Structure 1
Amino acid sequence: MNLMIKKLLIIVLAFIGVYMAYFTLQTADFYKTIYKNKNGNGTPIVKNKTEYNILLLGFGGIDDNGKVHEGPYLTDSLMIAHIDIKKNTVTLVSLPRDIWVKLPTKTKEVFHSKINSVYQIALNSTNYPAVDIRKPGTADLLAKAVQTITGLPIDNYVAVDFAGFEKAIDSLGGVDVDVQKTFDDYEYPLADKEKELCGKEAEFEQVKKFMEPGFNEEEKKKLFSEKPELEKFFKDITEEPKDAFPCRYEHLHFDKGMTHMDGATALKYVRSRHSLQDGTDFGRGARQQQFVKALKNKLISVGIVTRVFSLMNEVKTHVETDVSIDQMKKFLSEAADAAKYRFIGIHMSDSDYLRSSFSDYGGYILIPRMGEDNWKEVHSVISNAILEITPTPSPMPTRKATPSPQKKK
């Protein structure tokens, strides 16, 4: 009997050894693909550290067929997860894509950008020689910009493209999401249709010259006076693209209530922002936070360990991060207690801490309601939310009239 037990024990230990070796090889291969070491030495593990600020990015990227998404590195989703492993809380801070943030420059000249463009600027640093990009090709510049806005120093980042997001959700068998309100979006962009002319090749051929600098203004006026339908088409191209090129868009519909979503459906749910019922970047940010909570529940129900290998294989070419293996092990050790974590959501919009404005070139932007580059109130709001302090409401500042967009001469 003792001999049989010893043999069984040897078999079990051998199995565990093989499993651990396989796990180590799989993890090493996975990290070799996704790990972006931002400082050359890895981010050191700080003993007794209990709070982390993780920057979560979503962008179009490139799919498995080599198809480049339009604006591939514009961050469609930008969120900070403040994780407190002592209090078992996760505070999610969503940043609207149109936030106007000041970036450091080599010459100290003033340079602003929309927050959703900062990651792309760092990846294409040669196109922005004035911007002080200390670590080109990384999320370092974006992390500093996010700290400017939120007051939160960023420890690490995790970025995933659209294809990786879809694959991850499908690998988990989909996610059940409690849709808060019924909504329709008639302007959701279709993949691979960004440049389709939708049968309007003849009309486009006649007006395309007027979309480039140096066109003849008199020729334009004459054409539009003779063919007013072309003037409307030309105007729709920039102001109502869904009317100019309807085949580039699809109609999305979501009903209120619990909805099971596969990867493709989930991506549409978290990206949609043109709904009259639940649109704008603010509505999208709230849905993205809600989806993260639903994803947490799914991971708890299926057990992340049972899916880890398939998940790594599916997404490794679509994810990048500077979270080291040692740090990841620490975070995974907390995954067993995921059910204990409470979520706190912070949303900023033009109805509270931001206000609408326009840049010098006429683009729509969001700036702090206290004034451009004055993020003190936002810092305080985020800090109080993390500490779970309810502050005394402060009076709204006197608003100046929002300037009309002006083009540079």
Structure 2
Amino acid sequence: MDKRKRAILAVGSVLLIFAALFVVRLGNLYSSINTQKETWAQRIPKKKNDFTILMMGYGGTGHEGAYLTDTMMVLRVDFEKKSTLLVSIPRDVWVEVPTQSGDEFFRKINSVYQMGLFPKNYPDLKREYKGEQGAGDLIKSVVGNITGFPIDYYVAIDFSGFKQAIDTLGGVDVYVKQSFTDPLYPKDGKEKDLCDVDGNDLEKLEELFAIATESPQLAFPCRYETLHFDTGIQHMDGATALKFVRSRQAPEDGGDFGRAHRQQLFLEAVKDKVLSVGFIPKVIPLLNDLEGNLKTDIPIDLVNKFLKEVPDAEQYDVTQIVLTTDNYLQSSYSADGQYILIAKDGEGVWRSLHKDLTNVIKGISLTPSPKPSL
């Protein structure tokens, strides 16, 4: 065997060894974050080309309402048609939760995931929806009722994991369409800070709590910071990116609807960054960073399928929809006085949305666009 052939063989052997180590390490890491312990390594059906994934973000340990999923997006990918559908669901959507007794039980959608995680607080919850994977199955079922098609898998990440993921990518360049200032962005860990007020001064505290009902920043200013983002391309590290996608109190671009639209813009920026840096080498560092901050039931076979599609991501057509009161939702109040959002077709009736999503999946464009105006 000549030197050239030996060199090629040696290089090939090294690459195979690295590939094998990559697969083994990926499998070990992935098994630790996957909540479907018995099936995470199973093969996906060969003839199935479309998958739906519910993506959720929550505060995590140390945050008030630690497991409230205030960010919820449904991603549907069709590998054969090379199309992607992204649907954002606001946190205040009012949904029915399945019970063991069959009694009606309604809650805001952002609280559904935590019900399965803490079933002792909800004794009438159906048994199959209790526990870590049960919580995932529960929220997939509830969201599937809204979209009109089943949700195959879920992925949930906390704030810390989100920041780490963006930093691992080296930050992201985001095009900010509209400048905005949010004077009420909550500081981490300051949710219950009394801002140097004596905790024993009950009269003063009662006065401040009364003020906080209308003007929380006046009562407890140390709990908040002011954010500002200018129009144009902005480079964001993990901490800045989290503020960008969480902010909801800006007069110019606030509320859950504006926030949902920004989250979709941010996902586009993440996709662009992934394509520009070469994602594969970062998979292991990323999973290392996210090991304690990410939960999913996506089988590793589908992860590999997604990784293979990364080079072709620019070829995919993308349809983005944000559920708002301009299209599918209407404002209402629950029996106990909570502000909620219900379907315009009627509480729990999603005919219009189902029809539009079916058309999108068939390749029929929506007119007018269901996106909120900016």
Which stretch shifts more, 70-79 or 125-134? 125-134
Which secondary structure does the structure 1 equivalent of 2:349 belong to? coil
> Is there any run of 5+ residues in structure 2 with no aligned partner, and where?
369-374
Residue type of the alignment partner of 1:191: D
Residue 96 of structure 1 corresponds to which residue in structure 2? 90
Which is greater in Rg?
A: 1
1:15-54 superposed Cα distances (whole Å, 9 cap, x missing partner): 1232023212321221121111077576651222111111
Instruction: Report the TM-score, using the length of structure 2 for normalisation.
Output: 0.92
Aligned to 1:215: none
Q: Do the aligned residues in 2 keep the contact of 1:43 with 1:323 (CA within 8 Å)?
A: no
Aligned to 1:326: 301
Show the counterpart of 1:70. Answer: 64
- Spell out, residue by residue over 1:139-196, the C-alpha distance to the aligned partner (whole angstroms, 9 max, x if none): 1100000011111201111111111111111111111111010000011110111111
**2:157 alignment partner, one of 157, 160, 163:** 160
- More displaced stretch, 355-364 vs 303-312: 303-312
Secondary structure (helix, strand or coil) at the match of 1:107 reads coil
- Which of 100, 105, 108 aligns to 1:114? It is 108
8 A contact 2:41–2:300 mirrored in 1 = no
Match of 1:399 in 2: none
C-alpha distance 16-377 of structure 1, shift in aligned 2 (>3 A): same
Q: Say whether 1:255 aligns with 2:254.
A: no
The AA in structure 2 aligned to 1:353 is: Y
Q: Does 1:84 align with 2:78?
A: yes
Can you list the C-alpha shifts for 1:283-308, whole angstroms capped at 9, x where unaligned?
Answer: 00000011111111111111111322
CA distance in 1, matches of 2:64, 2:291: 22
Q: Which residue of 2 aligns with 1:288?
A: 263
**In the TM superposition, what is the alpha-carbon distance from 1:238 to its structure 2 partner?**
2.9
Letter in 2 for 1:197: L
In the alignment, is the contact (CA less than 8 A) between 1:293 and 1:343 conserved in 2? Answer: no
Name the CA shift for 1:361/1:38 in 2 (closer, same or farther; >3 Å). Answer: farther
Structure 1 Cα separation of the partners of residues 341 and 194 of structure 2: 32
Letter in 2 for 1:19: F
Q: Distance in 2 between matches of 1:392 and 1:193?
A: 45
Separation (CA, whole Å) in 2 of partners of 1:133 and 1:42: 25
Correspondence 1:30-45 to 2 at 5 A: 30-37=29-36, 45=44
Instruction: Give the whole-Å Cα distance in 2 for the aligned partners of 1:124 and 1:40.
Output: 23
How far did residue 381 of structure 1 move? 2.3
Aligned to 1:185: 182
Change in 2 beyond 3 A, CA 1:239/1:253: same
CA contact (8 A) 2:50 2:79 kept: yes
Alignment-derived partner of residue 15 in structure 1: 14
Deviation at 1:72, TM superposition (A): 1.1
Matched, 1:129 2:120: no
Change (3 A) 1:385 1:235: farther
Distance 2:270 2:364 in 1: 27
1: CA distance between counterparts of 2:313 and 2:339? 39
**Residues in 2 aligned to 1:39 and 1:202: alpha-carbon distance in whole angstroms:** 50
Secondary structure of the corresponding residue to residue 289 of structure 2: helix
Distance 2:11 2:86 in 1: 42
Which shows bigger deviation, 91-100 or 30-39? 30-39
Q: Is the 8 A contact 1:185 1:273 kept in 2?
A: yes
Following TM superposition, by how much is the alpha carbon of 1:386 offset from its aligned partner in structure 2, in angstroms? Answer: 3.0
Q: How is 1:263-282 mapped onto 2 (pairs within 5 angstroms)? A: 263-282=238-257
| Structure 1, gaps ≥5 residues long | 63-67, 211-229, 394-409
- How much is the aligned-residue C-alpha RMSD, in angstroms? 1.9
Contact 1:102/1:373 (CA < 8 Å) preserved in 2? yes
Cα distance in 2, alignment partners of residues 14 and 377 from structure 1: 56
The whole-number CA distance in structure 2 between the counterparts of 1:86 and 1:201 is 63
Among 343, 346, 366, the alignment partner of 1:371 is 346
Aligned to 2:55: 56
Q: Find the aligned partners of 1:372 and 1:7 in 2 and give their Cα distance.
A: 70
| 1:391 positional shift | 6.0
C-alpha deviation, 1:85, in angstroms: 1.0
CA distance in 1, matches of 2:21, 2:285: 13
Q: Counterpart of 2:143 in 1: which secondary structure?
A: helix
Alpha-carbon distance between aligned partners in 2 of 1:147 and 1:133, rounded to the nearest angstrom: 19
Question: C-alpha distance in 2, partners of 1:141/1:327?
Answer: 21
Secondary structure, counterpart of 1:331 in structure 2: helix
SS in structure 2 at match of 1:78: strand
| Match status 1:346 vs 2:340 | no
